[in-house]
Amino acid sequence: MASLPPPPNQKPRPRLSARPFFENKARAFWTLQAVGWGGYLLLRGVSSVSNGLSLDAVIPVIIEAIVGYCLTLLLSALYGYYRILPLALSLFLTLATLAAATFLYAVIDAFTFSFITTQTPGVTLTRLLGSVYVTFTVLFGWSALYFGINFYLIVEEQIDQMQVLEMQASSAQLAMLRYQLNPHFLFNTLNSISTLVLLKQTERANAMLSRLSSFLRYTLANEPTAHVTVQQEVETLKLYLEIEKMRFEDRLRPSFDIDPRAERARLPSLLLQPLVENAIKYAVTPQEEGADIDVAVRLSGERVQIAVSDTGPGLHDAQIRPSFSAPSLSTSVGLANIRERLAQAYGPDHRFDTRTTPTGGFSVEIEIPFQLEDVNREIP
């Protein structure tokens, strides 16, 4: 549903675009690094002042945060290099690097704080052991976050790749199903043109060739996975029926009942043509008087309901069943093809029913979501 324009005196509100935080990994790293160590500095500074120390005690805390910031930058570079090494070697080097960084950080931390707490600055074993606990906790926590975030990004990247591959596979499947229709229809039409040429009915053969070229121009102009509007699909279907009318004349009696509200709804291209083709084969061809073929499209809430019915003898189970096992049969490129294309395009969010009425005739009913955008064009 289209949104209403804002009042004349009211400016439109700017839209907020939510971008993933880790879309730019370098920017995300520097942001987390700055926020993390800034928070650590604030927490340690407030803790020192609240414990009764003078403001001079904040200076060692600032030095501690700067040293930690620089050490973790070095750790990030080394950890990134270790990731390309064999797992055992990478694990050993990671633990060794963490131990060395902890010891170096503890020595600098102990020496810095000795200027505040003693008259003789220096590093003693007691101060060193006290600093090792704090520095190990800080660097181990930072390392755990580093590897955890990188693992999350790797998993997210693999999921994105799998989704792209699934979309590409679905797109290829849809293209294959669409391309099944063209050779089959082309064979029937060219066979009819050949018959007209043999009967020396050149004008009718030329007219059929002209309509065939228009139909093929439409099929080639549209991507096999793209969706078209109901109006475009109906116009193409009428073009196809004009070709078939050259063969069956008054025996083929099509009619259309299209809800104007549903004309802009989108559906897979050439979805209805094989249904009408089946109706021609099983309703018009076997009966001397021909048959009526009705195409109806209705909009019911957020659902588009499509029905293609005929007044032929109907399809029996023996005729419908081969459609799922014999791809070369007309019914196969009709019912099974449509069923598969609907499953590829909409998943479970669709309905596909076939039925034969007791008085004769066969109908196919399809229900799909009401969509105005061609979602398949978003597939890379």
- 181 near 269, Cβ under 8 Å? no
Q: Which residues, listed in sequence order, are joined to residue 293 by a DSSP beta bridge?
A: 254, 310
CB atoms within 10 A of CB 206: 13
- 94 near 142, Cβ under 8 Å? no
- 295 near 305, Cβ under 8 Å? no
Instruction: Supply the pLDDT for residue 256.
Output: 94
Q: Is 1 helix (H, G, I), strand (E, B) or coil?
A: coil
Look up residue 8 and give its two tokens: 């004349």
Fold of 181-378: Heat Shock Protein 90 (3.30.565)
Per-residue pLDDT of the chain (380 residues; tens, 9 = 90+): 344 444 444 444 444 444 577 778 888 888 888 898 888 888 887 877 776 666 666 777 888 888 889 999 999 999 988 888 898 998 999 999 999 999 998 888 888 777 666 666 667 777 788 788 888 988 999 999 999 888 888 888 888 888 777 766 666 655 555 555 556 567 777 887 888 788 888 888 888 888 888 777 766 666 656 788 999 889 888 888 888 887 788 899 999 999 999 999 999 887 888 888 888 888 888 888 889 999 999 999 999 999 999 988 876 543 443 333 333 344 445 677 788 888 878 888 999 998 887 777 899 999 999 998 765 544 33
Q: Is the dihedral of CA 259, 260, 264, 269 positive or negative?
A: positive
Token pair 């979309």 is found at: 167
Nearest to 247, CA basis, from 185, 192, 286: 192
Q: Is 126 helix (H, G, I), strand (E, B) or coil?
A: helix
Nearest to 69, CA basis, from 101, 112, 23, 116: 101
CA atoms of 251 and 281, how far apart (whole Å): 12
Look up residue 110 and give its two tokens: 């102990």
Instruction: Supply the pLDDT for residue 10.
Output: 43
CA atoms of 338 and 233, how far apart (whole Å): 14
CA atoms of 264 and 380, how far apart (whole Å): 24
CA atoms of 356 and 345, how far apart (whole Å): 26
Edge-to-edge strand list for the sheet holding 291-300: 252-258, 291-300, 303-310, 362-369, 351-356
CA atoms of 277 and 331, how far apart (whole Å): 9
CA atoms of 241 and 111, how far apart (whole Å): 91
pTM: predicted TM-score of the whole model, two decimal places = 0.51
CB atoms within 10 A of CB 122: 10
CA atoms of 36 and 223, how far apart (whole Å): 50
CA atoms of 65 and 116, how far apart (whole Å): 17
Could you say which DSSP state residue 362 is in? E
Look up residue 331 and give its two tokens: 């019914």
Instruction: Supply the pLDDT for residue 334.
Output: 60
| 11 contact partners, CB below 8 Å, separation of at least 6 | none
